[in-house]
Amino acid sequence: MEGNKKRFTGLVTSDKMDKTIVVAISTRTLHPLYKKYVTRTKKVKAHDEHNDAHIGDTVRVVECRPLSKEKCWRLEQVVERAK
């Protein structure tokens, strides 16, 4: 069932919580009426077991079972470290 999980790449906006990061996932969608591309951003909380990711890092998160009230994603890998 590992192949059916959603995966997104996003930017870490907060790492202040223990073993939790906040990831901003941006998607570009075409507006149905104005036919203009609009950037939509969604923030998700992701589980970071070893506190690897820090603010500004680009990370890949994968869907998982609910770990808490708002946390149902986990860190899969750090794609790029912040400069």
What is the phi-psi region of residue 51: left when phi exceeds 0, alpha when psi lies from -120 to 50, beta otherwise? left
Q: What percent of the chain has pLDDT over 70?
A: 98
Taken in order of first residue, the domains within the chain and their CATH numbers are 2-80 (2.40.50.140)
* Strand-pair category, 71-80 with 37-47: parallel
Q: What percent of the chain has pLDDT over 90?
A: 94
Does 2 score more than 70 pLDDT? no
Over the stretch 17-54, which tens digit does the pLDDT of each residue have? 999 999 999 999 999 999 999 999 999 999 999 999 99
CA triple 4-2-72, angle to 5 deg: 80
Q: Could you give phi then psi for residue 3, rounded to 5 degrees?
A: -75, -15
What's the pLDDT at 83? 86
Residue that the structure tokens 């690897």 belong to: 52
> Mean pLDDT across the stretch 55-68?
97
* Strand-pair category, 58-63 with 71-80: antiparallel
